[in-house]
Structure 1
Amino acid sequence: MRDSNKKNKNGLTEKEFLNRYVPGDYERPSNTVDMLLFTVDDLPVEGKDPNKALKILLIKRGDHPYIGCWAVPGGFVNIEEGVSAACYRELKEETNVENVYFEQLKTFGDDVNRDPRMRVISVAYMALSDKSNIKPKAGDDADDAKWFTVKKMFIDSKGTGTQRSDTYNILLTSDDGEIKIGYSVTESFEKNGVVTVKVPSYKVLDWSKEELAFDHIEEIDCALERLKNKIEYTPIAFSLLPEYFTLREAQKVFEAILNVEKPLTRANFRRKIKKMVVKTEKEKITSGRPATCYKFNEDWQHSFLDE
């Protein structure tokens, strides 16, 4: 139990200690928040129902450092401000987006030189949201705000076990097609006790005329991996679907998040999500034919026994 009258080795009570404590006597990092906002949008296919593409909202920095570079929205946490509150404030100020649910992704700070201004530790948040409800508009220190289609594509693999390294390309393309950003990602593997961990490194592709600010490519890569994992044990994908949807629509959303090269097997997908959805009496016309609509099963809970 806390005892504020207990004295430390210098004979000071807590009150006496705090009266003498000067924060400026100690070096300390600054804290920022970054917000990775994802959506899924239609990708037209001639003569067929549209596919879906995973997209992320980026802003163009209007000031140094990395002036003119694209970045994840974010900024510094005020001294009397909660971290989550800073997340919402910065998103509103830089993109005019609000009322979006975020969840904490990861704290970034292993690279002590990640920000050229000073020692900065950043708490990254991520969320999925319906694009139709978001109308981004640059503000504060951002010159522009755009949606970018984001894809992580496997290139090759070398070696085996902890000697293995996998190579991927991460490509980001703005909705208007004018901005294309590309990175090569090399994932090596290291043993940490009984766990094998991935250690990624990033390099801007030769053809890319743009680069992301700070270490935001690492944040995006981390978020892509988290999304692929969360879709297996949470209902996060259903936040991108209307209340009533067809199983085909649901499959396309899952495929966009999983970034599969080939469509998922229809039978396997429907078996996988059968407990997550409830059949309704509603129908929707797709490909010229009526299709049964489903809705998310509010009573669904993930169970490893079902896998």
Structure 2
Amino acid sequence: MRDMNKKNRNGLTEKEFLDRYVPGDYERPSNTVDMLLFTVDDVPIEGKDPNKALKILLIKRGDHPYMGCWAVPGGFVNINEGLSSACYRELKEETNVENVYFEQLKTFGDDVNRDPRMRVISVAYMALADKLSITPKAGDDADDAKWFTVKKRFISSKGFGIDKIDTYNILLTSDDGETKIGYLVTEKFEKNGVVTIKVPSYRLLEWSKEELAFDHIEEIDCALERLKNKIEYTPIAFSRLPKYFTLREAQKVFEAILNLEKPLTRANFRRKIKKMVVETEKEKITSGRPATCYTFNEDWQHTFLDE
């Protein structure tokens, strides 16, 4: 049990220690929060039911550093402010978006020079929200706010084990088609004790006339991997479907979140989610034909037997 009267090696009680403590005597980093807000949106196809695409909300920075570059919304945490409170405040100030549930993604700070102003540690948050309920509008120090389709595409793989090197492209295209950003991702593998860890690096593609601010490409890459993992053990994909949906509609949402280049086979997909859905008597007309509707199985819980 805590004993506030216990003395330390210098003979001070906790109160005496705190009375003499001067925070300004120690160097300390600044803290920021970043918000990665994703959605799944329709991609119209003439004469057919729409496909789905994963999108992320980015803002255009209106001040130095990285003025004019696209970035994940975010900002500094006030001294008397909680992290989650700062998250929602900054999102509201920069994009006019609120009432979105976020979860912590990761803390970024291994690169001590990630912000040219000072030593900054960022806590990144992420959410998968309904685009129809969000009308972004630039504010505060943001000049613009746009939705970007985000795709991670496999390029090549060579080597084995810790000598393995995988390469990908991460491509971001704004809804109006005016802004396109591309990065080459190189994933190497290193031994960390008994564990092999993935170490990515990022390089702007030569054709890309725009770049992302700070290390936000790393944040986006990390969030894409988290989404792919969460779709396996949580019902997150069903949050982007209506209460009643066809299996084809569900498959398109899964494929968008998984960032797949080729569609899943229908049989494998249906086998994978059969415990997650319940068949109903409702039908929906898709591609000119009636299709059975399903709903999410509220009793479903992930087990390793599902894998």
Q: How high is the TM-score relative to the length of structure 2?
A: 0.98
Equivalent residues in 2 for 1:9-158, closer than 5 Å: 9-158=9-158
- What SS class does the counterpart of residue 283 from structure 2 fall into? strand
Aligned residue number for residue 232 of structure 1 = 232
Work out the number of aligned pairs and report it.
307
Q: CA deviation at 1:281?
A: 2.0
Using the TM superposition, give the Cα deviation of residue 44 of structure 1 relative to its aligned residue in structure 2, in angstroms.
1.7
Distance 1:157 1:131 in 2: 35
Q: Provide the TM-score with structure 1 as the length reference.
A: 0.98
1:200 maps to which residue? 200
CA distance in 2, matches of 1:296, 1:92: 31
Letter in 1 for 2:163: Q
Q: Alpha-carbon deviations, 1:158-212, whole Å to 9, x = none?
A: 2221111111110000000000000001000111233211100000000000000
Deviations 1:101-132 (A, max 9, x none): 11100000000000001000000010101111
In structure 2, what residue type is equivalent to 1:277? Answer: V
More displaced stretch, 25-34 vs 193-202: 193-202
Secondary structure in 2 aligned to 1:275?
Answer: coil
CA–CA separation in structure 2 for the residues paired with 1:306 and 1:42: 29
The letter for the 1-side match of 2:145 is A
| Other-structure match for 1:223 | 223
Looking at structure 2, the residues matched to 306 and 258 of structure 1 have their Cα atoms a distance apart, in angstroms, of 18
Aligned position for 1:6? 6
One-letter amino acid of the structure 2 residue matched with residue 192 of structure 1: N
Distance 1:260 1:220 in 2: 16
RMSD (Å), alpha carbons: 0.8
Q: CA deviation at 1:306?
A: 2.5
Tell me, which stretches of 5 or more residues in structure 2 are unaligned?
A: none
- State the distance in 2 between where 1:54 and 1:181 align: 15
| Partner secondary structure for residue 187 of structure 2 | strand
Distance in 2 of aligned mates of 1:198 and 1:86: 31
Question: Whole-Å Cα distance in 1 between the matches of residues 114 and 89 of structure 2?
Answer: 23
Q: In structure 2, how many angstroms separate the alpha carbons of the residues matched to 1:296 and 1:86?
A: 33
CA offset digits 1:138-171 (Å, max 9, x no partner): 1111010000000011111122211111111100
Q: Distance in 2 between matches of 1:23 and 1:153?
A: 47
Kindly indicate whether the alpha-carbon contact (under 8 Å) linking 2:155 and 2:169 is maintained by their aligned counterparts in 1: yes
CA contact (8 A) 2:246 2:294 kept: yes
SS of 1:56's equivalent in the other structure is: strand
Measured against aligned partners, the alpha-carbon deviations of 1:40-81 in whole angstroms (never above 9, x if no partner) come to 111122322111110000000011100000000000011111
2:231 maps to amino acid:
I
CA distance, structure 2, for counterparts of residue 297 and residue 146 of structure 1: 34
* Distance of 1:113 and 1:133 partners within structure 2: 37
Determine the structure 1 residue equivalent to 2:168. 168
| Poorly superposed stretches of 4+, deviation over 4 Å | none
The CA distance in 1 between the partners of 2:260 and 2:170, in whole Å, is 14
Percent identical among aligned pairs is 89
Shift of 1:299: 1.4
Q: Give the counterpart letter for 1:122 in structure 2.
A: S
Q: Tell me which amino acid in the other structure corresponds to 1:220.
A: I
2:248 aligned with 1:284, yes or no? Answer: no
Take 2:273 and 2:145, find their aligned partners in 1: how far apart are those partners?
Answer: 35
Query: In the aligned structure 2, how far is the partner of 1:281 from the partner of 1:140?
Result: 50
